[in-house]
């Protein structure tokens, strides 16, 4: 297994325990301080396998940073914190954090926590990608049905004839069936 790159964002100056332990476990570490951090730019440049935040409590700024990060990059985020309030935990989950660990005083647990968070993140990513693919297929199916309905109404085709006409148009123009359906719909909307 290749060495994993971990970006550590630390709020504390006095305790390098987390970074030391991660280095001892074979991770390639880059450590930055939380203040005035452009996390998107750093993640874009470093392309870490995981982002670990070590802080007392994730405030609104941190939660917004996590939400923005998750919208732009597929990277698991693990937060080690002291705040165990239910509202904080709910907000962290909504921000897309993969793991939120309160009071991790046992260094030997850190590697397992990070590896489980990465594995769960990857599994969730597969499910999200599958869901997105299914949604796209459903949208394409709706477009095809709408285009077929247009051909049935305007040309008097049967449903089977409309499908074959749409398919032939798509093949002749070397575009997908969904793209051809969009073109047919757009043309009718333009003419109306």
Task: Find out whether 51 and 9 touch, Cβ atoms under 8 Å.
Answer: yes
Which CATH number covers residue 9?
A: 3.40.50.2300
pLDDT of residue 168: 93
Name the CA dihedral angle for 95, 48, 30, 110, rounded to a multiple of 10 degrees: 70
15 and 80 assigned to the same domain = yes
Domain coverage including residue 85 = 5-105
9 and 101 assigned to the same domain = yes
13 and 101 assigned to the same domain = yes
Which of 105, 139, 167 delimits the end of a domain?
A: 105
pLDDT of residue 143: 94
Residue 87 lies in a domain: yes
25 and 78 assigned to the same domain = yes
pLDDT per position as a tens digit, 25-56:
888 888 888 776 788 888 999 899 999 988 88
Number of structural domains the chain divides into:
2
Which CATH number covers residue 164?
A: 1.10.10.10
Task: Find out whether 102 and 84 touch, Cβ atoms under 8 Å.
Answer: yes
**pLDDT under 50 in the chain at which residues?**
none
């Amino acid at each position: 297994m290749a060495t994993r790159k971990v970006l550590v964002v630390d709020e504390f100056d006095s305790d390098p325990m987390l970074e030391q332990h991660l280095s001892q476990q074979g991770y390639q570490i880059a450590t930055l301080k939380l203040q005035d951090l452009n996390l998107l730019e750093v993640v874009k440049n470093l392309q870490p396998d995981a982002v670990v935040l070590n802080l007392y409590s994730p405030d609104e700024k941190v939660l917004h940073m996590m939400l923005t990060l998750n919208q732009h990059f597929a990277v698991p985020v693990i937060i080690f914190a002291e705040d165990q309030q239910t509202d904080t935990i709910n907000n962290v989950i909504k921000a897309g954090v993969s793991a939120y660990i309160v009071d991790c005083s046992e260094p030997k647990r850190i590697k397992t926590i990070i590896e489980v968070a990465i594995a769960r993140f990857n599994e969730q990513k597969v499910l999200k990608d599958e869901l997105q693919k299914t949604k796209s297929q459903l949208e394409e199916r709706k477009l095809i049905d709408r285009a077929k309905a247009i051909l049935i109404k305007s040309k008097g085709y049967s449903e089977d004839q409309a499908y074959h006409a749409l398919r032939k148009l798509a093949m002749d123009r070397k575009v997908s069936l969904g793209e051809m359906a969009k073109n047919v719909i757009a043309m009718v909307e333009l003419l109306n």
